[in-house]
Structure 1
Amino acid sequence: MPFANFKFPEGTVDHARKEEIIHRTTAMFVEYFGEGVRPYSMVLIDEVADGGWGRADETLTLAKMGLQPQAK
């Protein structure tokens, strides 16, 4: 079963964008593995609480990245 897990800062990806990510990821799986994988493909989108993730030993927040949360 093809599986993809995307993690985004909470509030930065709206519902429409999530649907687009799911559809495009599924299409990529089908392109690589054939139409038979479509019903078994899983795409999971996690939203990580602001400040609950980091990079290069630094806790990141939306404010540090100059981003504003999007409406859901």
Structure 2
Amino acid sequence: MPFINIKTPEGALNRAQKEEIVHRATNLLVEYFSEAARPHTMVLIEEVKDGGYGRADEVFILPEAYRAKD
């Protein structure tokens, strides 16, 4: 089963954006593995809470300007 795991800051994507990512990611794998892969493709979008990720000793908080608008 093809599997894609996407981690994103909590609140960065709205429902429609998540649905689009699932659809487009599935289509991408179907291009490589054939249409037979579609019913078996899993796309998992994990939302990481603010302060739960960082880089080079900097803990990230999602700025308000980048939060999803519903």
TM-score of the pair, normalised by structure 2 = 0.89
3-state SS in 1 of match to 2:22: helix
* Aligned-partner Cα distance in 1 for 2:53–2:67: 16
Aligned pair count reads 70
Structure 2 equivalent of residue 8 of structure 1 = 8
Structure 2 equivalent of residue 69 of structure 1 = 67
Q: Is residue 30 from structure 1 mapped to residue 53 from structure 2 by the alignment?
A: no
* Aligned-partner Cα distance in 1 for 2:52–2:65: 15
Deviation, 1:68, is: 4.2
TM-score of the pair, normalised by structure 1 = 0.87
3-state SS in 1 of match to 2:18: helix
* Aligned-partner Cα distance in 1 for 2:34–2:28: 9
Cα RMSD for the two superposed structures: 1.5
